[in-house]
Chain A
């Protein structure tokens, strides 16, 4: 199969495109009906990646303190960012009243890491050790300058609510490869810097206008890992079986009377639910993980709900062939007190993120797993508020920022894109958010221009009317 390039052929992906093009809304409706009664799922997608683990860093990690060294900021510390660089670009209301925008150097040292010599901040010692696995994009940019629109843009392709999330598109495009677990799983992490953070929104893992079964399923660190998973007290596994036998028999009688295929589908869903009741606790039960795993991910991985524990869980999900794992850490919005707070979040995420890559690698899974580490934007190279070395802050910055990807189908140990000497604008190899999305889909074997869904008379796609696969970083 060559994926979406072939206009006809019995693949699920072709159907998606064709149904939208050829059959209109009627076709889609039919697709949904067929799908729930067992459309063949793509167990081996034609792309190099079979699954994605997206480590989302909500709040906007500071690229100039983590990934993109800018010695000029130190040399010209306190100087106004020149108008030739600023170019009248819009700023948020939080700094709009500032009288000046002074270059604010990073107080963290950068040095070349790995064979490839990728320059990374001292705040990321573990990430540095896997530098040779990374594909670092330094010139990503976004139009949005505020959290809600920016994160919504990164995760749904539109700054405004209403669109399906990246994971939902992937689920829609590729279906599930696992019969006992959801295909699209969401993990929320408790950040060490405190429970607060920018709010996340169900739309970020929602299905938008796609059928709602494509929405992500959050796995929770306490209580039922999947909502309503546990049978109530007194309903043992064998009693649930008796219950389901009776339920299926009655539903089957109804099905034969009414001829409604939805009933057969429902019987299947109850069986899947029953299997999930066994498979999810198995997934969550990390007691069998040996000690060296905790050496690798860090001791925090023993505490459910931490970013480290979630990275470990992401690996376990990948092992079970879950298609899309969306993980969140939300401790990156450093308007003030950056020197105190940034290292905390870096510590939360550095070792586990690197451990995940190592772990996947040693299990031979990095070859067909794509890992993405990104926030919704970076932070300004100028100080927000007063400029003090021991207590400064940075505002949101979308003109350029850094993200990394690693694994399936990507060059390893490369840095793509550069920014100007202030880290203010992309200067080469610039990559738009839609390009990142197009590239992720491409690696999964999905053509972002052809993965479409018709809604309200329009063909919608994740990348809207834009997007370019960043071929320069493909292996």
Chain B
């Protein structure tokens, strides 16, 4: 034990030396940003920094003028040029704990001697302050002169070599062509190259050199696999999941947003537009469907549907989540600190925070929402193929309706027709019928009702499933923007109540009707509005709504697709505003005609007649009878206005072609996927500073805005909306956006960014290892029109990226993590790639791009004792079939509170919050998963089949295993191990046919013995388990 600890101390110092390698270069002046500010920020700023509330002794060290001035005690913290007279040096350097800074009570450790020396040197050299590097715009500087210009392949390389020269280090030799191809393909596709690709590329590279490399990159960038791979990393940042999170964690539908991301990368959407679409696609002029789908970025946060939570508390959380995510994703500043108080290290005030908050605080959303489906606002988001079918159907409907109008115009009713129209109808008898036949105002059939509360109108329980039909005639006195027609709903005056707005209601909204079925309005309701119903005032119209539960539902939730609306006897187009109702709604008494209760109760101005409610979903035929029983006598008496003529005409015809086409169109619209989006409230919500960050402690009002002094001015003429914010973020001279983006892309290739803290470019973040390179990349990226593919092409073709990755002994103490980039990257593959690679080399991987998330194999019983009951969709894992079992992991259903174990075992975050980089760990659970998870054992069997088929000699077969999985030939000593293991396994299975059969399973085929199947399956698994297989080198 004692010996171990000693060893440990030694290692620790080695690591310190390693860290120093990226810090000060020996013998050169101290750099404030790189060497000094991190120390001050970490140890001093908490009490002597930007946060005025916590500032001690009125002294601040984050500004030179105050740090070099006299403090309250009369001492001067920093005397430039004279460290010995500087109080700062005395206080941090002393061994006397009673005066030492930081004080013991702060729990911040004393400075080590090296840090004290750095401060001394800095003060001796004049104590120059610099603004924080990340807060001034990136500038392209001339590449430094380098020792070996022939090494340079791209404009990235001089920056890297220049730094190595300064350290007296040489870069590593170039990696072999096959190594580079595997590295590049894993980076750009998330999949390994096939062996034939590797062989062909090796030949091509030998003949054509650079040209071959360039073409290989171009091929990779043109494949749809590229967009999938790029989307993979973005899912963590954007905290994408297929469930809402929190303890109900039920299913949501956001895969249309995920597919938009894949498409955006594949079509190389310029990154500034990638930002703008996600932040403010809905605010662009005439936004396209894609641009609206993109705004789902800001709806990917968790949504809590736990009964009884306080709405505002969680609504505020969602807005804060957007601020945090935008902060990490693009600003590179951890804004969260400023939510409760002024930022301790970075000059972001609490007010700044809430001004950013104000941009995202203006959504028609609720804290408690998302119980069984998407939370409003959402839109129908047809896939491209659905969009095509929609357009075709719309055109057909349009054409047939014109034809129908012509036919109507030409129609002259004959005597027989009139007789038929006069024949009595036999409508089904309603369970509740109100005609107000003793009323004083004339109706469509006898007297009509004026707004009234119905006494004792017992309807009784609706049948299970909640089916019903509601029908009435209405005549509005004047245009009305929103008025109740029939209310069986209780708008309890307490809006926080869990049963506020429970019931059923039909409303008139402008020219449209709206049906509400609700447990709690609006969050837990189905709200469906007609589109183009054209219900004008001063005319009698018939309106009907029908709810018919679907027979084939797998989850118990009610669905908006069960609702149909009819106006004047014809089904009308609808749009769904809310669709998050766990079970059927019931009619709440008292029933009201033209009235409703509640704080915002409205009243219908006009007449209503012939109200009927059925406790069943009437077939359309019956519904037509109901309409015609009133409409035809009425129309026959009228002067045959076009509208009434239409009623008569249609009553005589069987269903027209137009009607059939409309039916198909509506059916298609009902099955469209939806996706959550951002939508601004018409009347903006006033944002206030929240004291201590608490939702119930509002302070001063603030308007939307950005920390302009810190991060650059608001672009002229831009609105103070999310769109303006996007324009500001994508200003060519914005100090952080492009840096943060190129840094995260760099991280994707090298394992860590030039700034390792890729989520934090603030003063507490790590300084860049190659500041001039970061700036050059950022500026170049912006100049290129934010061209991602171009940037990535530059990276993978650079000499820096093309280096071999072997660790050089002389670098071990010097730069173990390769921050100086003296070798190629070594990175354990992310969870998704480990699974995808196994499927790919086994020939199992499905190739479909996009679509709803799928459920491949997951251990049974994983949710047992953990998730909520089955009343919530997304709480059971109904394993898919066919290709769904083998799709890329990007498409695996992501249950936020309990993601697939093959993802979390290999370090994927749960995506409850935005994550900009994953930790990489090395655990026994990973070993177990790779050895035993069915997806890997199945892949091993498939690979065994390939090598058995491909060659007949053992040696050739073990070679093939290496080629398939590792994209290289084995070394002789490796072949020796493989053959030895093969022999041992063969011996072991020889007398155990039963065991061999179990390993081979159903895959066994062809002329090979079970023994061979079992042995090669085990060997294939062995190769899949190699460190090299799951590591990019």
Q: Which residues of A contact B (CB under 8 A)?
A: 7, 10-11, 15, 17-18, 21-27, 29-30, 32-34, 36, 38-40, 90, 92-97, 145-149, 151, 160-162, 182, 188-190, 195-203, 206, 209-213, 215, 217, 220-224, 226-236, 238-240, 242-243, 245-247, 249-251, 253-255, 257-260, 262-263, 265-266, 269-270, 272-273, 276-277, 305, 328, 330, 395-396, 449-450, 452, 456-458
- Taken residue by residue from 279 to 312, chain B's Cβ proximity to chain A (1 for < 8 Å, 0 otherwise) reads as 0000000000000000000000010101111110
Name the residue of chain B whose CB is nearest to the CB of A265: B922
Contact call A201/B306, Cβ cutoff below 8 A: no
- Tell me the complex Cα distance, A247–B1021, Å: 10
B931 near A458 (CB under 8 angstroms)?
A: no
Contact A92 B16 (CB under 8 A): no
What chain B residues lie within 8 Å of A188 (beta carbons)? 864-866
Please indicate the chain A residues that have their CB under 8 angstroms from the CB of B16 in the complex: 23
> In the complex, how many angstroms separate the beta carbon of B364 from the nearest chain A beta carbon?
19
B118–chain A nearest beta-carbon distance, Å: 13
Q: In the complex, what residues of B have CB within 8 A of residue A396's CB?
A: 308
Question: Which of B5, B249, B904, B994 lies in contact with A215, CB distance below 8 A?
Answer: B904
Instruction: Report the separation of the CA atoms of residues A473 and B345 in the bound assembly, to the nearest whole angstrom.
Output: 38
Q: List 13 A-B contacts (CB under 8 A).
A: A32-B921, A93-B496, A190-B865, A206-B910, A212-B919, A220-B864, A232-B999, A233-B995, A239-B995, A245-B984, A246-B978, A259-B812, A457-B763
Residues of B within 8 A of A200 (CB): 247, 865-867, 897
A246/B977 in contact, CB under 8 A: yes
Q: A228 CA to B866 CA in the complex, in Å? A: 19
A-B residue pairs, 10 tightest by C-beta: A457-B764, A234-B998, A246-B981, A92-B308, A97-B497, A188-B865, A234-B999, A196-B869, A161-B912, A259-B807
C-alpha gap A162/B868 in the complex (Å): 21
| CA–CA, A189 and B904, complex, Å | 22
Query: What does the 1/0 interface line of B945-984 toward A look like (CB < 8 Å)?
Result: 0000000000000000000000000010110011011001
Contacting pair B805 A217 (CB below 8 A): no
* B382 on interface, CB distance cutoff 8 Å: no
Q: Are A26 and B859 in contact (CB under 8 A)?
A: no
Question: Among A22, A226, A243, A265, which residue has its beta carbon within 8 angstroms of that of B1022?
Answer: A243
Tell me if B461 is interfacial: C-beta within 8 Å of chain A. Answer: no
Report the bound CA distance from A29 to B919 in whole Å: 9
Asked if A243 and B981 make an inter-chain contact with CB atoms under 8 angstroms apart, the answer reads: yes
Query: Is the CB–CB distance between B110 and A7 below 8 Å?
Result: yes
B1022 with A247: CB separation less than 8 A: yes
Interface presence of B12 (CB below 8 A): yes
Cβ contacts under 8 Å, B249 to chain A: 199, 201
Once bound together, how far apart are the Cα atoms of A330 and B865, in whole Å? 8
Contacts of B919 in A (CB 8 A): 32, 209-212
- B921, A211: Cβ atoms under 8 Å? yes
Taking CB atoms, residues of chain A closer than 8 Å to B763 are 457
Residues of A within 8 A of B651 (CB): none
Could you tell me the distance in whole angstroms from the C-beta of A442 to the nearest C-beta in chain B?
15
Partner of A15, one of B12, B248, B867, B977: B12
**Residues A269 and B308 in contact, CB atoms below 8 Å apart:** no
A93–B497 touching, CB < 8 Å: yes
Q: Is B792 part of the contact surface with A, judged by Cβ < 8 Å? A: no
Residues 692 to 745 of chain B near chain A (Cβ within 8 Å): 696
Task: Contact check, A25 vs B756: say whether CB atoms are below 8 A apart.
Answer: yes
Q: Give the chain B neighbours of A249 by CB distance below 8 A.
A: 977
Residue of B nearest to A201 (CB): B897
CA distance A269 to B930 in the complex (A): 12
Q: Distance (Å) between the CB of A310 and the closest chain B CB?
A: 10
Verify A39–B806 contact, CB threshold 8 A: no
State whether A93 touches B498 (Cβ < 8 A).
yes
Interchain CB contact under 8 A, B927 and A212 = no
Known: A161-B912, A243-B1018, A249-B977. A146 touches B309 (CB 8 A): yes
Most buried by A among B5, B309, B492, B923: B923
**From residue A178, how far is it (CB to closest CB) to chain B in Å?**
12
The answer to whether A228 and B995 touch (CB under 8 A), given A7-B110, A235-B1018, is: no
Closest to A11 in B: B5
User: Across the interface, which residues of B come within 8 angstroms of A255, CB to CB?
Assistant: 1027
Q: Is B933 an interface residue (CB 8 A)?
A: yes
Distance A149 CA – B302 CA, assembled complex (angstroms): 13
Q: Which residues of A contact B757 (CB under 8 A)?
A: 25, 456-457
B interface list, Cβ under 8 A from A:
1, 4-6, 8-9, 11-12, 15-16, 18-19, 22, 38, 42, 107-110, 112, 245-249, 302, 304, 306-311, 317, 328, 334, 336-337, 345-346, 368, 492, 494, 496-500, 696, 756-757, 759-760, 762-766, 805-809, 812, 816-817, 826, 828, 859-862, 864-869, 875, 897-899, 901, 904-905, 907, 910, 912-913, 919, 921-929, 931-934, 937, 971, 973-974, 977-978, 980-981, 984-985, 988-989, 994-1000, 1014, 1018-1019, 1021-1022, 1025-1028, 1031, 1033
Given contacts A29-B756, A96-B308, A276-B928, 8 further A-B contacts (CB under 8 A): A97-B500, A161-B913, A201-B249, A201-B897, A242-B988, A253-B974, A258-B807, A260-B826
Q: Which residue of A lies closest to B909 (CB)?
A: A212
Closest to B1000 in A: A234
Residue numbers in A under 8 Å from B764 (CB-CB): 457-458
Report A-chain residues with C-beta under 8 Å of the C-beta of B826.
258, 260, 262
Chain A residues contacting B11 (CB-CB under 8 Å) are: 34
Alpha-carbon gap, A257 to B970, bound state (A): 13
The answer to whether B928 and A229 have CB atoms under 8 Å apart is: yes
Enumerate chain A residues within 8 angstroms of B923, measured Cβ to Cβ. Answer: 212-213, 269
Contact A259 B937 (CB under 8 A): no
Query: Within the assembled complex, what's the spacing in Å between the Cα atoms of A217 and B875?
Result: 21
A239 touches B921 (CB 8 A): no
A445 to chain B: closest CB distance in Å? 17
Taken together as a complex, chains A and B put the C-alpha atoms of A242 and B988 apart, in Å, by: 9
Measured CA separation A350–B762 after assembly (Å): 52
**With a CB–CB cut-off of 8 A, which chain A residues contact B978?**
246, 250
The CA of A24 and the CA of B765, in the complex, are separated in Å by: 9
The residue in chain B whose Cβ has the minimal distance to the Cβ of A207 is: B919
- The residue in chain B whose Cβ has the minimal distance to the Cβ of A200 is B866
* Interchain CA distance A263-B317 in the complex, whole Å: 42
A25, A92, A273: the one within 8 Å of B924 (CB)? A273
| Complex interface: chain A residues within 8 A of B311 (CB) | 93
Distance of A269 Cα from B337 Cα, bound (Å): 38
**CA–CA, A97 to B1021, complex, Å?**
61
Residue A234 contacts which of B22, B245, B497, B995 (CB distance < 8 angstroms)?
Answer: B995
Say which residue of A34, A36, A203, A243 sits within 8 Å of B15 (CB atoms). Answer: A34
Asked if A253 and B922 make an inter-chain contact with CB atoms under 8 angstroms apart, the answer reads: no
User: In the complex, what's the smallest C-beta–C-beta distance from A296 to chain B, in angstroms?
Assistant: 23
How many whole Å from A214's CB to the nearest CB in chain B? 8
The reply to whether A228 and B109 form a contact with Cβ atoms under 8 Å apart is: no
- Pick the residue among A27, A151, A254, A266 that contacts B922 (CB under 8 A): A266
CA distance A391 to B759 in the complex (A): 53
- Give the residue name and chain of the B residue nearest to A39 (CB): B8
Instruction: Choose one: B927, B980, B984, B1031; the contact of A269 (CB below 8 Å).
Output: B927
Q: Which residues of B contact A189 (CB under 8 A)?
A: 865
User: How far in angstroms is the closest Cβ of chain A from B1024?
Assistant: 10
In the assembled complex, the Cα of A257 lies from the Cα of B809 at a distance in Å of 11
Given contacts A93-B310, A253-B971, is CB(A195)–CB(B109) below 8 Å?
Answer: no
Residue from A38, A146, A260 with most neighbouring chain B CB atoms (10 Å): A146
Give the chain A neighbours of B762 by CB distance below 8 A. 457
Q: Are A272 and B924 within 8 A (Cβ)?
A: yes
Q: Cβ of A245: which chain B residues have Cβ within 8 Å of it?
A: 981, 984
Could you tell me if A449 and B107 are in contact, using CB atoms closer than 8 angstroms?
yes
Q: How far is the CB of B410 from chain A (nearest CB, A)?
A: 60
Q: State how many angstroms separate the Cβ of A278 from the closest Cβ of chain B.
A: 12
Docked Cα-Cα span, A457 to B765, in Å, equals: 6
Is the beta-carbon distance between B897 and A96 smaller than 8 angstroms? Answer: no
Whether B766 contacts A239 by the Cβ 8 Å rule is: no
Give chain A residues whose Cβ lies under 8 Å from the Cβ of B247. 147-148, 151, 198-201
The residue in chain B whose Cβ has the minimal distance to the Cβ of A277 is B928
Tell me, rounded to whole Å, the shortest Cβ–Cβ distance linking A44 to chain B. Answer: 10
Q: How far is the CA of A226 from the CA of B926 in the complex (A)?
A: 12
